[in-house]
Structure 1
Amino acid sequence: MDNHTIKTVFKEYIHPLDSKVIQKMVDHAGLDKYVKKLDILTFTNAFIYAQLKNLDSLKRISNTIKRKKTVQRLVGIESISKSQLSRKNRDIPHEIFEVILHHLIQKLHHILGPRMVSKELGKLHLIDSSTISMCLSQYEWADFRETKAGVKMHTSISFCDGISYPNKVNLSPARPADETQLDALIVADKKVLHVFDRGYFNFEKFEAYSKAGI
């Protein structure tokens, strides 16, 4: 993407994030107490921009913000060190982003209206996982392989009238099989069609779901 496109896409990503509502969530949880510079909203902006530009390290994120005035205006800070980014990334509980996700899903339901939600959104759910490799020495709890750690992000995507959005996201260590997360991702609704690959094969669960009419 060129710089103009990046700015446009970035603003489209940021637009649905109701900063006042998110700030109330953050204040209620006391997550930004005594923070002067890198609050959660600024951190989120920085990593959304990094994702769009494929900045694959904290150092690159830090250097890009420091060098480019346009990025500073988009993100909301003039400079930040990689160590500050690392500490903030470590300290933010992942649950706050789950709350933000659920808030966005509620907004989508409100925009589409209850009639469309009840008739369309529940019909097709796409289930899959993505594996994120990590450093074994720093994340020993994230059981994966002998030489590296990792987590899996198991995602259920709702599909409606050409629009898709995450319905549920579960994190787990990378080693356990995908099918261990089926119960958490399946929607107990007879009108829902679930689509997933062979990683989720478990015939005992399939039989139980069938008996329940899923």
Structure 2
Amino acid sequence: MNVGKTLFAQVMEFVPWKTFGRIIERHRGDAGVRTLGCADLFRIMAFAQLTWRESLRDIEACLSANRGKLFHMGLKNVPARSTLSDALNLRDWRIYHALAMRLITRARALYATQPLDIDLDATVYALDATTIDLCLSLFEWAPFRTTKAAVKMHTLLDLRGAIPAFIHISDGKMHEVGVLDFLPIEAGAFYVMDRGYLDFARLFKLHQAGAFFVTRAKRNMNARRVYSAATDRSTGLICDQSIALNGFYAAQDYPERLRRIRFKDPESGKNLIFLTNNTTLPPLTIAALYKNRWQVELFFKWIKQHLRIKRFLGTSENAVKTQIWCAVCTYVLIAIVKKELQLDASLYTLLQILSVSVFEKTEISSALRPDPSLPEMPQSGNQLNLFEI
């Protein structure tokens, strides 16, 4: 890689620009555009994510201060705030969604051999949603409550490498369980979710598609025991049962038997009741699968802390979705860089290095490898360490 290029330019080389160009042509993204096309907008949004710019004025000032380096970013000049605002509102967000899915496909292939904490060959997904609060007077298209607006980011996280395999952005009123209606189902994969997704009709469709699910039972679930397997209570297992649903509608929604596992968490002392349609895995493996669901919660916390999706640069639906998808593209792109260059540093460390050195003209693999001779700084107890991938 040419060491005469800035770090930002070297990171951008990992973007599949030919594929991105075809995506832009398919959506006619640059039709009638004279300045700041779709590719330039992505470069600016990626720059804003990497350098933590939080407003259009902030982006403009930072680019103006480095006007002599814009050519090395792939930009001809500094876009005005109004031009950038118009681009966010008018460039179709589906273009950046398609780019994100292309990058996700590449990243998942790179992390396919990443080991899980569980001895399991199957693909394991964690499903959850996070709410991003907005101002109702500015974001009228995203109603949530009487005095509040919000968008929800429904995410299916591949636990091998913590790469999002599927993301759906909706307004705040959409219930989490509704995403099961259009979730891509992979036969043989495990879908781990909390009890907010306990809808027997939707879970039965997932079962019929040949996939497995692991979730928690609600307290008022009406079911009868059909068979009990022997358990070793010294491991925390209380029971491993085959059950049938008693409720009239529930039995129609899920006419087959379910597996119910009651487990006492040794750390919290709580009794947890898991439901699954898998009958072959050991019960402790089912409990461990559900414990790994916490990775999707950490993913949400991580991107909210380290990517710019809590403060939006535009108020329209298109602008918000464009910014979110560009943030996802940036996250996955750095994960690809880390794997391609076989870097040992965490994604947090890589983003910190890039945030202060995007205009440095050093070889990227050297710049992103911390000097081993320097003493390690103690990390804050609040720092998330999930992404040591």
Mapped contact 1:129–1:154 kept (Cα < 8 A): yes
Aligned to 2:191: 194
Aligned to 2:92: 93
Alpha-carbon distance between aligned partners in 1 of 2:21 and 2:36, rounded to the nearest angstrom: 13
Alpha-carbon distance between aligned partners in 2 of 1:71 and 1:183, rounded to the nearest angstrom: 47
Helix, strand or coil for the counterpart of 2:54? coil
Mapped contact 1:127–1:156 kept (Cα < 8 A): yes
Matched-pair identity in %? 25
Aligned to 1:40: 38
- How far did 1:208 drift? 4.5
Alignment partner of 1:62 out of 40, 60, 63: 60
Q: TM-score, normalised by structure 2?
A: 0.45
Aligned to 1:151: 151
Aligned to 1:20: 18
Partner amino acid for 1:104? L
Mapped contact 2:176–2:197 kept (Cα < 8 A): yes
Residues 41-77 of structure 1 show CA distances to partners (whole Å, capped at 9, x for unaligned) of 1111111111122212122112211122476332624
- How far did 1:136 drift? 2.6
Structure whose residues are more often helix by fraction: 1
Alignment partner of 2:29 out of 28, 31, 35: 31
- Structure with greater Cα Rg: 2
Helix, strand or coil for the counterpart of 2:182? helix
- How far did 1:194 drift? 1.6
Which has the bigger relative contact order, CA under 8 A and spacing at least 6?
2
Unmatched runs of 5 consecutive residues or more in structure 2: 1-5, 114-119, 213-389
- How far did 1:32 drift? 1.0
Partner amino acid for 2:92? P
Aligned to 1:49: 47
Helix, strand or coil for the counterpart of 2:145? coil
**Superposed counterparts of 1:65-76, under 5 Å:** 65-69=63-67, 72=70, 73-74=72-73, 76=75
Partner amino acid for 1:205? R
Partner amino acid for 2:144? F
- How far did 1:180 drift? 1.2
Change (3 A) 1:80 1:196: same
Q: TM-score, normalised by structure 1?
A: 0.76
Unmatched runs of 5 consecutive residues or more in structure 1: 1-6
Alpha-carbon distance between aligned partners in 1 of 2:68 and 2:154, rounded to the nearest angstrom: 35
Alpha-carbon distance between aligned partners in 2 of 1:197 and 1:74, rounded to the nearest angstrom: 43
Residues matched between the structures, number: 200
